[in-house]
Amino acid sequence: MRTREDIEAYLLRSNHPHRELAESTWLVGDVSGSRENIVVRMDNGLCLFRLKVIDLTAIDPKKCGDFYLDLLRLNATEMVHGAYGVSDGMVLLTASHLLENLDFNEFAGVVEEFVLAMANHHERIARFRRNDDRRADV
């Protein structure tokens, strides 16, 4: 079973900037340090990863069907470790791994996939924004 110290060592080894928000919960950024947006948390034998992508109110209601279909396509074709989902009025990227056998490569793979997804899918997701929404949360 991986411990809090193991996850902290993985974070240090990954070279991603991070800070501890609470015991066994970290906020992780991309290596450029420009964004801190991935929450990593240990809970009940799992390592949970979560990244807020966009508030659902920012999506054009006329484009919702196509938006959700596009997210499902991304899940099926481009996501390996995580998946897009909806919770609490937000589109999220989420992943979970058992702490029992989580190794550094799996841990780093999730973090890198999330960072790459935001870089590669940003424009694709932004196409579905409401015309009157200019916030930069994607």
pLDDT at residue 18, as a whole number: 93
Q: Is residue 85 part of a domain?
A: yes
In this prediction, residue 35 carries a pLDDT of 72
Structural domain containing residue 52 = 4-126
| Residue pair 14/8 in contact by the 8 Å Cβ criterion | no
Residue 138 lies inside a defined structural domain of this protein: no
Q: In total, how many domains does the chain have?
A: 1
Do 42 and 79 meet the contact criterion of CB atoms below 8 Å apart? no
The per-residue pLDDT for 2 is 93
CATH code at position 108? 3.30.1460.10
| pLDDT number for residue 57 | 96
Q: Residue ranges of the chain with pLDDT lower than 50?
A: none
Is residue 79, in this structure, part of any structural domain at all? yes
What are the pLDDT digits (tens) for 35-60?
769 999 999 999 999 999 999 999 99
Q: Both tokens of residue 29?
A: 């950024």
Does 133 map to a domain?
Answer: no
Q: Is residue 58 part of a domain?
A: yes
For residue 137, being part of any structural domain is answered with no
Q: Could you tell me if residue 134 is inside a domain?
A: no
Instruction: Using CB atoms within 10 Å of the CB of residue 57, give its burial: 0 to 12 exposed, 13 to 18 middle, 19+ buried.
Output: exposed
Ranges of H-type helices in the chain: 4-14, 64-77, 104-126
Rounded to two decimals, the pTM is 0.90
Does residue 18 sit within a domain?
yes
